[in-house]
Amino acid sequence: MTSYQIKVKTGDRLGSGTDANIEIVLLGSCGKQTESANLDCWFRDDFERCKTDVITIHDKTNIPEVNEIKLRRNKAGLFSDWFVEKVEVTNQRSGKTSVFPILRWIRPDVDFYVGRYDVSLPQFDPRPQQRSAELDEKRKMYEYEEKAPGLPVQFDLQQRKYSLKAGKALEMIFGDGSWKTLDDLTGVYSETFGEPKGMQDWESDISFGWQRLNSVNPNLIRLCTHIPDKFGVTEEMIKPFLDGLTLSQAITDKRLFITDLEILDGISLVDDYICPIPIALFFVNSKNQLLPVAIQLFQQKGSDNPVFLPSDPPYTWLMAKMWYNVGDSNYHQALTHL
């Protein structure tokens, strides 16, 4: 009998670990291969995220240097998905170790073959049918979908994975819970990644200005050379926020910037939904910080379309910024992201 040491490194992606049953077959030259061996150890929580499991198997077939392995998993357990980083196989008689980089989600009830170092061009792939099946799976993940007639098509990702804490997230999704406070929301983030930085300063004008330069639509902002007629901003409104400058001085000094999501005007909407089509004005202060000084949520000024200012009641101003970001995110999904 020949002993083989198998080292399995499970990946670090969310949900990488598995409760499924894992089988392996070792293949060598001249058609040699071992019997299928079960890698699961009773009474041990193996194949967990970021962990390396070491298993020794024994087989009557001696393969001095393993050229290929076959993995297979089932759907057993509550969490059967499995993302494998790599597998190392050492023939303890010959002392030779073979490394098999996987870096894939292993599909259930499918024989998955991988060669040493797993490097080949498509035209030289020894298992083209397996490659074709993997490509078909990826195509399904990125199919276009039109959510409603008239709306832009977008990717319909079927396997989204988030860095959420399982217990709290499952309670919210499947239980009778809901996100009623910010504490509820922060409670779903995992300890591994921690809370996003934005959880600490998301309400601030500094953060809102930063998003215009470093977030999803940094190419929208423009130098403001004049106030558009459709924008109901007056000098008297924004004078308190210009570090003592007049409106014309701020424009001359190139410290005033503008964003306009006019391109969203006229898009089709799902019934009973509203898409803001905002215009916003930003000022670079003496600390070189870009700050919002005026937000108008729809295109044409009027008594029913006010200009919101930092001097408004705190929650009014906060809601204006949040509604602006609704329009901004719609622009991102329909244009920038696509």
pLDDT score at 164: 47
Q: Which pTM was predicted?
A: 0.55
Which phi and psi (to 5°) does residue 114 adopt? -145, 135
Which candidate, 161, 144, 51, 54, places its Cα nearest to that of 105? Answer: 161
Q: Where are the domains of the chain?
A: 2-120, 200-336
pLDDT score at 184: 73
Which parts of the chain have pLDDT scores under 70? 147, 151-178, 187-188, 190-193
pLDDT in tens, 134-146: 888 888 877 777 7
Whether 2-120 and 200-336 share one fold: the answer is no
Helix, strand, coil % in the chain, rounded to nearest 5? 25, 25, 50
Which candidate, 212, 216, 225, 213, places its Cα nearest to that of 256? Answer: 225
pLDDT in tens, 191-215: 666 777 777 888 999 999 999 999 8
CA 237 to chain CA centroid, nearest Å:
40
d(CA 160, CA 155): 11
pLDDT score at 178: 67
Question: What fold characterizes domain 200-336?
Answer: Nuclear Transport Factor 2; Chain: A, (3.10.450)
pLDDT score at 181: 78
pLDDT score at 202: 87
pLDDT in tens, 235-250: 999 999 999 999 999 9
pLDDT score at 162: 40
CATH number of this structure's domain 2-120: 2.60.60.20
pLDDT score at 161: 41
d(CA 316, CA 311): 10
